[in-house]
Structure 1
């Protein structure tokens, strides 16, 4: 439980396990990986090593699926007064993690054979079309999260958290930053099914920039949070 005692915010961390640090890094790496793989497929498919991408997406998918599933089913952040964060971080990570695992399995078992055939990109486009409905739905969900983040001024760090806590008096600052970052990913997801109408169109470039930029920021922000969250724990243990 949280309390505002004279010494400041106190959190019982045994009741509120937090691991959106590794989630953020894994999400960022997954987004960058998708852009990187897409670029190789469009520009030099002969350079693609399927096993490497399968391993990468498998590792990231496992991290996001396990942490996202636990957060989605148990709501660990509710005990500390942040129940909405279980939806924001848990459900979205679970969705992305399962998608990455599916991609990893397909690439591992079918990647080399597909790339060795004529019309490989056209075949991959058709394979991806059914799951694009779910990607579109999650993209719309991410936009909903972004709107909620600004409307309810979510994501603000308490003053006890290093660096991010410096903006505690202005909760809208971090709300706009995180909501904007989530919206960028969501916009790319919304464009995804429309980009699948053809192999080469401008939408792929737009998605690449959106997911690439968001991925780099997620990696950097997640890495930073390994320090800021440790600092928050130290400062609020009581």
Structure 2
């Protein structure tokens, strides 16, 4: 267990929540929904060759992208979690959320502007060509996900304090939640590293592999984020 966690457990955790706004709950839900929708859209392109109701996808990506950009940008630039002993969480949650939000907003804008083009049968080829330049950034964020996962395992950064409901029951086993959260970042990272290569040959094993790893990670982030609305509220009540 890292020293900061030992000291918190020994002294009893008290947090001045007025100095630490925490909103990684909605970030997790939005990121999970975004990953699931990206997988669903990719599957539609691969199976049908076109996108049904692209304006609906544009609205969905726009809503999720806006949520992630606003929260991720604020966390990245202001480090709201630093004042109470969790500065690393600003990097872990803020920067990936910001990057993913930008990706989703970009996709939303493109789908909105070019909706008619996706009614044709070569949608997968067109999408692959358009997404290829941004895939370099996606690849880089995949490397970042592996870095976050490695840090999470080495320093058990995701360990919940005893005051947090449910997750706090495993406070004496910090490696457990660290392994779970780091594993999710590994799944996202695998898909991101494969993404540029899958765009070049979209109808190979890489596309379904990306679908599986991003689908699993998206579902986990969505459920875990929803659960955190209870656990984080409980943590606030127990540490005021």
TM over 0.5: yes
Structure 1 residue 215: Cα displacement: 0.5
Equivalent of residue 184 in structure 1, options 176, 184, 187 = 187
Q: Report whether the alignment pairs 1:109 with 2:121.
A: no
Structure 1 residue 216: Cα displacement: 0.5
Give every structure 1 segment of 4 or more consecutive aligned residues whose post-TM-superposition deviation is greater than 4 Å: 3-7
The aligned residue for residue 34 of structure 1 is 38
Q: Secondary structure at the match of 2:143?
A: helix
Aligned residues: 234
1:152–1:7 distance in 2 versus 1, CA, 3 Å: closer
- Mapping of 1:98-177 within 5 angstroms? 98-110=102-114, 112-177=115-180
User: Matched residues in 2 for 1:57 and 1:202: separation?
Assistant: 26
User: Matched residues in 1 for 2:153 and 2:31: separation?
Assistant: 21
Deviations 1:75-121 (A, max 9, x none): 000011010100000000000000000000000110x2222345332
Unpaired segments ≥5 residues, structure 2: 1-6
User: Matched residues in 2 for 1:100 and 1:14: separation?
Assistant: 31
Structure 1 residue 170: Cα displacement: 1.1
The aligned residue for residue 213 of structure 1 is 216
User: Matched residues in 1 for 2:50 and 2:186: separation?
Assistant: 34
Asked if structure 1 preserves the Cα contact closer than 8 Å seen for 2:9 and 2:162, the reply is no
Q: Report whether the alignment pairs 1:198 with 2:201.
A: yes
1:113–1:47 distance in 2 versus 1, CA, 3 Å: closer
Asked if structure 1 preserves the Cα contact closer than 8 Å seen for 2:187 and 2:214, the reply is yes
Asked if structure 2 preserves the Cα contact closer than 8 Å seen for 1:161 and 1:232, the reply is yes
User: Matched residues in 2 for 1:128 and 1:121: separation?
Assistant: 10
1:4–1:218 distance in 2 versus 1, CA, 3 Å: closer
Structure 1 residue 5: Cα displacement: 10
Asked if structure 1 preserves the Cα contact closer than 8 Å seen for 2:69 and 2:101, the reply is yes
Asked if structure 2 preserves the Cα contact closer than 8 Å seen for 1:41 and 1:48, the reply is no
User: Matched residues in 1 for 2:145 and 2:173: separation?
Assistant: 23
Deviations 1:165-204 (A, max 9, x none): 0111111111111000111001100000011112311100
User: Normalising to structure 2: TM-score of the pair?
Assistant: 0.94
Deviations 1:195-233 (A, max 9, x none): 111231110000000000110111000000000000000
Unpaired segments ≥5 residues, structure 1: none
1:9–1:107 distance in 2 versus 1, CA, 3 Å: same
Equivalent of residue 18 in structure 1, options 15, 18, 22 = 22
Equivalent of residue 93 in structure 1, options 94, 97, 101 = 97
159-168 vs 116-125, greater mean Cα deviation: 116-125
User: Matched residues in 2 for 1:93 and 1:6: separation?
Assistant: 33
